[in-house]
Amino acid sequence: MLPDADVLYAALVARDPGFEGRAYACVRTTGIFCRLTCPARVAKRENVSFRASVQECRAAGFRPCKRCFPDQALRPRAGSSSSGAS
């Protein structure tokens, strides 16, 4: 069961890491879903809904964000260094 949508939206605005993986934000105007910690600009409240899993987001017709990669649990964010060479 998801927390209240207003609580989730507040977590999205704050990019609260305590909500990481508990829910995903689906933006109707773009067709994209994100982690609640995504660095992208936050959409207007009336355009955002929340789903409990990546599978639910995809089933609802949303595609994953290319900044926060919500469908890949451990993938680094865009712009972060991920060099494996030493």
**Residues with a known catalytic role:** 34
Q: Give CA angle at 24 (19, 21), nearest 5°.
A: 40
